Amino acid sequence: MQFLHKTINSLRWTKDRITQSSKFGARVVGCFDYLRYLPLGYNQRWALNGQAQRQYIFSELMELFRFSALIETGTHIGTTALYLHKKSGLPVYTVENDQRRGMHAKVKLLRFRKIHVFLEESKSFLKKLIKILPTINNQLFFYLDAHWDDKMPIKEELQIIFGNWKNSIVMVDDFAVPGDTGYGYQEWSDGKTLCLEYLKDIITEFNLAIFFPLAGSISETGHKRGCVVLAKNKDIIEILQNSKNLKSHKCDTLN
């Protein structure tokens, strides 16, 4: 095993010679990345940012609702996608725009037939899903985490989701939790932050109900990133209001 690890680790010298100026080059490097880190294994403890309270929320949602599929934007190297599938047994559709990380995930998850990895932008991916997953009476869970750097597709993602799958539940990662600065959130170089004010128009347009983690950041583990859960369907909202891990947030608190 030590010899194998040294051999695979040496591939980094080869991959450095491969140009990453094209999608093909980046994908080849992603394959090398998978082989290089394979002997080290992949710890599912770090799924959903390694946050125990976040995992409790997800587990409860799986108990409360009968989802037909789970969708993730922002695959990274596939740790959370694998976790979602193993915990639910459901098909998982996930997308990563970074070709290197996406190919790493695609190779790693290749043996899981119910996990479908796409290498493209999240907006085009969601539009493609409209033809794959029925939009009428189809209950889906969306985990949105494709908003790093200065890319901000979150508004367009939510418009596509609630404009087509009205019975869905959406969890947005890296979201500012009101009154709890211990939870981290996304900030962009232009000064904007991922918060309720930023999504005000979308929340109003679709009359979305808002839910935040009931547990404070002090009891959270891992990266301690904030999140918000959004829903449109009245029956779904009523169930969420009795959640043991989420608390309702009134829309009239938006400025």
Q: What is the pLDDT of residue 2?
A: 53
* Confidence grade of residue 232 (pLDDT, cut at 50, 70, 90): very high
b/e string for 141-154 if b means 16 or more Cβ within 10 A? bbbbbbbeeeebbb
Query: pLDDT tier at 19 (50, 70, 90 boundaries)?
Result: very low
Give 142's DSSP letter.
Answer: E
Supply the pTM of this predicted model: 0.87
Q: What is the distance of C-alpha 34 from the center of its chain?
A: 20
**Nearest-angstrom CA–CA distance, 73 and 26:** 19
Q: Is the pLDDT of residue 39 over 70?
A: no
Question: What mean pLDDT is reported for the chain?
Answer: 88
pLDDT at 255: 47
pLDDT of 171-187, one tens digit each?
Answer: 999 999 999 999 999 99
Within 13 Å of residue 100, how many CA atoms lie on the same side as its CB? 12
For residue 27, pLDDT beyond 80: no
Q: What does each C-alpha distance from 46 to 15, 97, 214, 221 come to in angstroms?
A: 26, 21, 21, 10
28 pLDDT tier (thresholds 50, 70, 90): confident
E-strand ranges in 145-214 read: 169-173, 209-213
